[in-house]
Amino acid sequence: MITRRECLRYLSAGTGAALCGAADVLGQSGGVYKGVMLGVQSYSFRDLGLDEAVAAMRHLGFTSCELWQGHLEPKKVTREVMRNWRETTPLSEFQSVRSKFEKAGIRIHAYNISFKDDFSDAEIERGFEAAKALGTSIITASANTKVVERVVPAAVRHRVVVGMHNHSRFEPSEFATPEDFTRAMNRSPRIAVNLDIGHFTAANFDAVAFLRAHHARIVTLHIKDRKRDDGPNMPLGEGDTPIGPVLRMLRDQKWSIPANIEYEYKGGDTIEEVRRCLDYCRRALDT
Within a domain: residue 270? yes
Which stretches within the chain are classed as H helix? 4-12, 16-20, 22-26, 50-60, 79-88, 91-103, 121-133, 148-158, 178-185, 197-202, 207-214, 243-253, 270-286
Report d(CA 61, CA 156) in Å as an integer. Answer: 34
Average pLDDT for 129-143: 98
Residue 275 backbone dihedrals phi, psi, to 5 degrees: -60, -40
Return the exposure string of 138-169: e unless at least 16 CB atoms fall within 10 Å of the residue's CB, then b: bbbbbbbbebbebbbebbeebebbbbbbbbbe
In which band, very low, low, confident or very high, does the pLDDT at 98 lie, cut at 50, 70 and 90? very high
Per-residue pLDDT tens digits for 154-187: 999 999 999 999 999 999 899 999 999 999 999 9
In which band, very low, low, confident or very high, does the pLDDT at 5 lie, cut at 50, 70 and 90? low
Within a domain: residue 5? no
Per-residue pLDDT tens digits for 191-229: 999 999 999 999 999 999 999 999 999 999 999 999 999
Per-residue H/E/C for 175-196: CCCHHHHHHHHCCCCCEEEEEE
| CATH code of the domain in which 109 resides | 3.20.20.150
- Residue 162 has a pLDDT of 98
Within a domain: residue 110? yes
Task: Give the global pTM.
Answer: 0.90
- Residue 195 has a pLDDT of 98
Within a domain: residue 2? no
Within a domain: residue 218? yes
Q: What is the mean pLDDT of the chain?
A: 92
Per-residue pLDDT tens digits for 44-76: 999 999 999 999 999 999 999 999 999 999 999
Q: How many domains does the chain have?
A: 1
Residue 10's Cβ-side half-sphere holds a number of Cα atoms within 13 Å equal to 17
- Residue 26 has a pLDDT of 37
| Residues spanned by the domain of 276 | 30-286
